[in-house]
Amino acid sequence: MSRWIVGIDVGGTFTDLVAVGPDGKIHATKTPSTRDQSDGVLTALARLAADLGMDLDQLLAELPLIVHGTTVATNSLLEYDGAKVGLITTSGFRDEIEFRRSYKESVFDPRLKAPYAIVPRRYRIGVSERVDHKGTVLTPLDENEVRAALAGFRAEGIEAVAVCFLFSFVNPAHERRVAEIVREVMPEAFLSLSSEVLPEIREFERVSTTVVNAFVGPRMNAYLTHLESRLRERGFGGELFVIQSNGGVQSAGEAGSFAVNGLLSGPAGGVTAGSFLGEIAGYPNLITVDMGGTSYDIALIESLRPAVTTESWIGRYRIALPMLDIHTIGAGGGSIAWIDAGGALQVGPASAGSNPGPACYGRGGTRPTVTDANVVLGLLNPDFFLGGEMQLDRKAAEDAILHEIAEPLGLSVVEAALAISEIVNNNMANATRLVTTKRGHDPQQFALVAAGGAGALHVGKQAEELGIQTVIVPSLAPVFCALGDTVADLRVSEARTHIGLAETVDFEALNDAFQEIEARARQRLSTQSLVRNFDVRRSLDLHYAGEVHEVTVPVRARTRRITRLNLDATIADFHALHERLFAHKDLAQPVEILTLRVDLIGVREKPRLPAADFGDEDPSVALKNVRPVHFDVEALEASVYDGALLKPGNFIEGPAIIEQWGTTIVVHPGHECLIDAYGNIIIEIGQAARNRKATLEPERFPG
Amino acid sequence: MIRSQVVYSRLAAIVREMSDTVARTARSKGLAEGRRYAVAALTGAPRIAAQVQFDASHSYLIRASAAALIDYFAFDLADGDIVVVGDPYSGGSTPQVLTFLAPFFHEGELVLFPAIRAELADLAGEYPGTLHPTASETWQEAIRVTPVKLYRNGVLQRDILRFLLRNSRAADLVRSDIEAIVSALRAAGRNLDTLLRDRGRQAVEGAIDDAIDHGRRLVGTYLSRWNGMERAGATTIERIGSNPIALKLRLSAEGGTLLADFVGSNPQVAEPYNITRWHVRGYVLVAAVAEMLDDVALNDGVLDRLEVRAERGSIVDPILPSATGLSDLVTGHAVAGLVRAMLQGDGDGMAPIDGPAPAIVLFAPIGSREDNPPFALDPGFAISGAGWGSPVLAGHRLLPSAEILEARDGFEVLFRERSPMGAIDVLVRNRRGDLEAAAIVPQRSGHACGALVLVEGDRETPLDCVTGGPIPDGALLRFTYPRYAGDLDDET
């Protein structure tokens, strides 16, 4: 038992657990999420213990590692239920968090409201200090002003102090001194320094990320401390890790201090699992899609590496840390279908949520949703929703679609349901296309991985629309994020601004800076004992001088020292990447370095999943029945299989439905699927590759 | 209809992608941070099939500029061509703005036109950049780029490019921006090709027709709340040292269509307050339907719902050689403010969308160097009438980072905060060397819309209307941006 690894992902509805044994044997369980997330975690662990014939204390005593995906930080920010934060900043700049670089989510809405102020103006205090862009102190820190500010904070009951001074990424001395004073006079306060959270140029991005860290930090810290103490009380002697927004894991202590890194802790597990799945199934390029009740998440994995972005907005706050690039749209099973004033059918972004939920839930909802359409079309079995734990009301679904969509549009109920399905499929396909093309890729080069309860219902049609030939529905699709928790490596992402033209770079300074960043990253991972070896990935944020946005390019160096040759090769990669992303490059234009990045990856031993031998192609043992399903207006008789009884090697031709606990997989007419050695369902779309017209390339301008 | 929606959404996504490419790769701050561009796909008519814009002014201008180009090159457009126009009197608005049109052929037939309209950093004129607050005629503001072919059958016409670059004090920026625009157009062409192969020409054209019909219905339903309305109103555009310019408007609505009749407005003036007819129409449109513009596909169906009437030679439909450079900064705000006030009538609930603010463009002393790229320094923004953020007419501009301004651009931001009155105050020190400036502080109701002051030691010089004024190295510029909202909830 001693080498079992447990991943636990807490979602909005369910708490999922995956435990992987030393022989690769997997146990998975799902329990309802609870208000105190630690209750759900312990319930899931107790259920695992029961499955293994143990009691909880015995199980916990033998576990070396629990990796946790939690929505505590996310919920804290999205619900604006965080700490009371005070901000100390350079005098004259206390409103940057409010100006937010004049960014507005809606360009033309004259009544767009301000975001909820997580640091109200009265708690934003400017103090005298100034450092210039070279790090020279122009105005010394006025400690009396700092102490006065902190006295005010104490009086107001401030729980967390954020500190962000101009150019602190060049010279953090003033921020560090403030930290010393905070520890002296407000020792109980959570502290968030911009020079530690995000030592990069651009003050709004830095202050926003730092303040969010302060806002969610105390909640995250308290939760992790609470969870860990409950686990310890029951005998847990191993390590508690938390999955981070960059797809890596960190100790609970680190995760609490840099809570802003945990904002994507939930969905990050799914992307990491996608990468793991791609490795064992032989698909290095993947698009993972996760369709839940209210939203649809899309992420790209290229050569088994998930795409990362530093341009995230969460809860209307800018988070400039490297995070998995998970694109979310408001399309889920609960998305409401409606007709706009121009007579066009729209689906979402409003959602019926889980209460009242879709009309077919029978909880009083009357608005037609995507789930209602799936019930009407026969894709979802009303008697087998959540494995039969919940009965769906087909009549209520039909009535909702009839009154709200079919009658106004002059369609039959089935036609209206097909229309709802087509619109939502199209919305998801368009979003998926955007995610791939914005990174310079063609979706046809990728396999589509469907996770989440509703993903496998829609993924086949999207693949057709996108020209994707292979769809993978993981055997652990309903607990995919928890699987990712068990396989994620430790990871620290560190960065520092280091501005200079590539042509005239000072290599000694560049190498020194990289070594400092790496040393800091190693310090953050120094206490970890579960690391097999370290992988250091260095990269540069580059752009053509004058461009506003940067492109992150891996450094081409085999040694720790970067030379002119290394840099030239990296710059060549930059030109190529720029052309791939934006359809042009400019070899004559000076290239500027803006930020140095180091990803220190503590590689963990990965679970080895046992591959089963392929058996008979014939899936008839798993055949439950045959039922009419509307892939078009005319229904087709589709074979319905019990997913739990399918074996590796089974081959199914569409039209067919595979029903599993927590998900239903649709195999459309013309599609075929195979159960692979790991129990994953591989659907082949078999769509002919499209011939592309050769187009005229623009002639380059003279330099 | 459902299939049409699906096909149209692909077309709209192609246009959005074209827009993203320009934003990410343009080198000039006007495009990359100021988002002073718009992109569209047009039919051959030309009708706007889909458009993305970040400020109000472009709504009708891509179509009008495209019409000028198509009219000029009627029988001389081929696959691989890119044609260009940049002239207030050829479907344009302010100077220095070029429209690029790339005819897209499918199976030998011209089907669509991807187009980009963008403000370039400098195209000659008396002062570098786009601001000349005392210009009397258009040639003082920029060269007029009448229709030309930049690419012929995919081959760059070097003489045309050379002509454009040799007439710019910021040739490198202009060259880079044009390359970004051309790349975005070419990528759009490839994506359109995929779309037409996937769906067929008939389906795409049908989807555009359906989307335009849908837009017409959607906006018609929205505007029908004013059916039967007949209102008259007037306002003035104020200038320093001259009489106010009268703007008169009769606004009526019938059948879900709005008619804005500016007959009786001031004749055109020998100052840059004139605004072209298509430009006016854009401001009227945004004033009327701002609340729904984020949610509606901007196409000809939307644009058709609005008509403008004006007298040739008037302030709202000037003829050559009138200057138009302040139409965005000043006149457009007056137009939109007037329309908005008249639509509201005695009722309540229409938040203002206008709100002019000070503007300044800095450059090395005129005549001191061949390459003299202008720098539009805009370190704050007006606070909108709704009380938060910038006014709708300010568009989607990104406020420059104080740290970037200091580390890269040579401007040290000493202070940027809300004042006790709630307006944004900014203090900037020039560390870029001796400069000159063109600047204006718009006037309204007898007051300046904010303030812009040069501070040298104890001496303070207002920069209310300046052309070529010196800004010495080390001097301070104090910006006070106006606040158009009422109640102030300052410390919450």
Q: What is the pLDDT of residues A233-248, one digit of tens each?
A: 999 999 999 999 999 9
Residues A212 and A117 in one domain: yes
The ipTM of this complex is 0.95
* A586/B395 touch (CB, cutoff 8 Å), yes or no: no
Nearest neighbour of A99 by CB, restricted to B25, B56, B399: B399
Give yes or no: residues A172 and A117 share one domain.
yes
- Whether the per-residue pLDDT at A699 is higher than 60: the answer is no
Q: Output the furthest CA–CA distance in chain B (Å, rounded).
A: 71
CB contact under 8 A, A427 and B392: no
Contact in structure between A90 and A166 (CB atoms under 8 Å): yes
Q: What is the CATH number of the domain that holds A34?
A: 3.30.420.40
Give the mean pLDDT of A679-695: 60
Distance CA A681, CA A674 (A): 6
Give the residue, A281 or A13, on which the prediction is more confident. A281
**Domain span including residue A589:** 489-603
Residues A158 and A230 placed together within one structural domain of the fold: no
Confidence of residue A504 (pLDDT cuts 50, 70, 90): very high
B418 in the same domain as B313: no
Q: Which residue of A98, A107, A468, A550 is the best one to mutate when testing the B interface, meaning the one whose CB has the most B CBs within 10 A?
A: A107
Do the domain assignments include residue A125? Answer: yes
Q: B184 and B258 share a domain?
A: no
The chain B residue lying nearest A167, using CA atoms, is B403
Does residue A441 form part of some domain? no
Min CA distance, B212 vs chain A (Å)? 10
Quick one: A212 and A108 in the same domain?
yes
Same domain, B80 and B160: yes
pLDDT of residue A107: 86
Contact between B27 and A547 using a beta-carbon 8 Å cutoff: yes
CATH code for the domain of B161 = 3.30.450
Cα nearest neighbour of B28 on chain A: A546
Together in a domain, A214 and A138? yes
Q: Is the pLDDT of residue A541 over 80?
A: yes
Q: Between the ranges A82-86, A431-435, A472-476, A498-502, where is the mean pLDDT highest?
A: A82-86
- Residue A464 included in any domain: no
Same domain, B207 and B230: no
Cβ pair A102:B21 closer than 8 A: no
Number of domains chain A contains: 4
- Name the more confident of A355 and B348: A355
Is the pLDDT at A694 greater than 50? The verdict is no
Tell me, what's the pLDDT at A584? 81
* pLDDT score, position B488: 58
Are residue A63 and residue A94 in the same domain, yes or no? no
Q: Does residue B164 lie in a domain region?
A: yes
Query: Considering only CB atoms, which chain B residues are within 8 Å of A166?
Result: 402-403
- Domain-terminating residue out of B344, B376, B411: B344
Please indicate, yes or no, whether residues B380 and B335 belong to a single structural domain of this protein: no
* A44 and A172 share one domain: no
Segment among A219-233, A666-680, A682-696, B18-32 with least mean pLDDT: A682-696
Within a domain: residue A208? yes
Chain B CB contacts of A702 under 8 Å are 158, 161
We report the CATH number of the domain holding residue A553 as: 3.30.1490
- Cβ of A699 within 8 Å of Cβ of B151? The answer is yes
Domain shared by A520 and A595, yes or no:
yes
pLDDT of residue A695: 34
pLDDT computed for residue B449 by the predictor: 96
Q: How many CB atoms lie within 10 A of CB A527?
A: 10
pLDDT reported for residue B100: 98
Identify the domain containing residue B441 by its residue range: 359-480
Whether the per-residue pLDDT at A692 is higher than 70: the answer is: no
Q: Does residue A500 fall inside a structural domain?
A: yes
B33 and A548 in contact by Cβ < 8 A? yes
A107 touches chain B (CB under 8 A): yes
- Is residue B41 domain-shared with residue B166, that is, in the same domain? yes
Of A101, A167, A584, the CB nearest to B25: A584
CA proximity to B42, closest of B58, B56, B55, B27: B58
Touching A: B residues 206-235, CB under 8 Å: 214-218, 221-222
Arithmetic mean of pLDDT, A566-586: 90
Helix extents (H) in A402-495: 407-409, 413-437, 455-466, 480-487
Check CB contact of A53 with chain B, cutoff 8 Å: no
- Among chain A residues, the shortest Cα distance to B414 is held by A92
Residues 249-308 of B with CB under 8 A from A: 286, 290-291, 293-294
pLDDT number for residue A663: 87
B52 and B171 in a single domain? The answer is yes
**Statement to judge: residues B22 and B105 lie in one domain:** yes
Closest chain A residue to the Cα of B82, Cα to Cα: A698
User: Do residues A522 and A559 both lie within one domain?
Assistant: yes
- Tell me: do A85 and A201 sit in the same domain: yes
CA of B2: which chain A residue's CA is closest? A419
Place of tokens 């998970």: A326
CB contact under 8 A, B390 and A104: yes
Query: What's the gap in Å between the CA of B208 and the closest CA on chain A?
Result: 14
Contact A108 B291 (CB under 8 A): yes
Residues of B in contact with A411 (CB under 8 A): none
Q: Report if residue B487 sits inside a domain.
A: no
Question: Which residues 595-634 on chain A approach chain B with CB closer than 8 angstroms?
Answer: none
Domain assignment present for A648: yes
Whether residues A534 and A636 share a domain: the answer is no
pLDDT > 80? residue A691: no
The packing angle between helices B2-25 and B171-199, to 10°, is 160
B349 within a domain of the structure (yes/no): no
Residue A615 lies in a domain: no
Identify whether residues B264 and B297 lie together within a single domain: yes
Residues of A in contact with B156 (CB under 8 A): 698-699, 701
Place of tokens 């199980």: A59
The amino acid sitting at B293 is L
B209 inside domain: yes
Task: Please indicate if any CB of chain A lies within 8 Å of the CB of B160.
Answer: no
Q: How confident is the model at residue A441 (pLDDT cuts 50, 70, 90)?
A: confident
pLDDT of res. B491: 52
Average pLDDT, chain A: 91
Residues B385 and B471 occupy one common structural domain: yes
Instruction: Tell me the C-alpha distance between A615 and A612, whole Å.
Output: 9
Q: Is the same domain home to B235 and B259?
A: yes
* Percentage with pLDDT > 70 across chain A: 96
Chain A contact present for B419, CB below 8 A:
no
- Residue B487's pLDDT is what? 63
Which of the residues in chain B have pLDDT under 50? 492
Last residue of a domain, one of B281, B316, B344: B344
Same domain, residue pair B264 and B370: no
A121 at the B interface (CB within 8 A)?
yes
- Among candidates A103, A112, A584 on the partner chain, residue whose Cβ is nearest the Cβ of B180: A584
> What does the pLDDT read at residue A701?
46
- Report yes or no on A400 lying in a domain: no
Q: With a cut of 90, say whether residue A449 has pLDDT above it.
A: yes
Answer whether A204 sits within 8 Å of B401, measured CB to CB: yes
- Number of compact structural domains in chain B: 3
Of the candidates B6, B190, B291, the beta carbon closest to that of A110 is on: B291
- Residue where a domain stops, chosen among B216, B244, B260: B216
Question: Does A198 share its domain with A81?
Answer: yes
A chain contacts of residue B400, beta-carbon cutoff 8 Å: 101
| Chain B partners within 8 Å of A412 (Cβ) | none
Find, in chain B, the residue whose alpha carbon is nearest to that of A581: B21
Spell out which residues of chain A touch residue B218, defining contact as CB-CB under 8 Å.
Answer: 340-342, 344
